[in-house]
Each structure stands twice: as structure tokens, then as C-alpha cells.
Structure 1
Amino acid sequence: MENEEQKDSNTEEQDPFTRLMFGSGRSSQPQQNDHEDRNRPVSNENNQLNELLSNVNVDELMKNIDTLVSNASHFKPILNKLGPLINKWIK
């Protein structure tokens, strides 16, 4: 009798990792499992996104963005001079 009560309390107290790895077993509450299944893909995507973002070198990213912006400002006068030529060629 006590073992059954302990099993019931253990299944209710399982952490999300244990439920993910070993399953929640058979429960008499299928509505709760449906709700958990809907949340799992979202949390899995969040975990993947967080893992990806943790691998980003922010300093290197900022240097690359700065280089891109400075190169774009250097090419802007050239594009302004070539604009009329390109418009005549298109027509």
C-alpha cells in the first residue's frame, strides 16, 4: 500500500528531464500530457536557439558589422555616379 503511494508521488514529482528521457509512464491524466507535448517543441527550439547564441562571438560579430557599414559608405559615392549610367542602360 505504501509502495503504491510512493510510486504515485514519484511520478508527480519527476523533473522535466527525467520525463523527457524515460517518459512519464502511464498516467490517468491524458490532458496534462497533451499540454506538456505542446510545450516541448517550443522549449526544445528555445534550447537550440540559446545554445546557438551562446556560441556567437559578439566581438567578432561587431567587427564584421562595422566593416560592412564602412565598406558600404565607401561604395555609396560610386553607386551615385553609376546610377544615371545604369538607368540609361536599363531604358
Structure 2
Amino acid sequence: MTATPPDTAPPVITPSRVIAALCLVAPFVALLWVSSYARLTPRFIGIPFFYWYQMAWVPVAAALTYTAYALVRREERARKGGAAQ
């Protein structure tokens, strides 16, 4: 029989972790749903919608990934700080 060490707690689902998960899932959903952007118009500086839509998601996905990282990191700091007091 193996026991869990007393200093490890099971993962807790918190609102900030849910928001972080949504930030990470949003680009996947937006880009895997190809039929929503598989068209030529509207064009942006001569580039068909299909291409510029995907390129627009690059900085958006980076910002969402950073947001998720910041949320989880803030929660971890609060958890460690709260346990020490």
C-alpha cells in the first residue's frame, strides 16, 4: 500500500485556473474550426481573410498564453505565501 506524502495536496480547481485553461483553449478552438474562416473576403491589404485571420491569432495566442501563465503563477505565489503564515 502506498500513501500520499502529507505535504502534497491534491490539485485544486480555482477560478483563476479555469480562466487560464480558457485562455489556452481559445486559440485551439478558433483555429481548428476552419469552416468559420475558410473564405477569401474580407481582404486586408490584399491578403485573403483565410491567411490574415490565422496570422492575427499569433500575437493573440501569445498574449493569452502569457495571461494564463501570470494567473497560475500569481495563484502559486499566494498559495505558498498563505501556507507559510
Tell me if TM exceeds 0.5.
Answer: no
Greater C-alpha radius of gyration: 1
The two structures have a TM-score, normalised by structure 1, of 0.37
Higher relative contact order (CA 8 A, sep 6+): 2
In proportion to residue count, which structure has more helix? 1
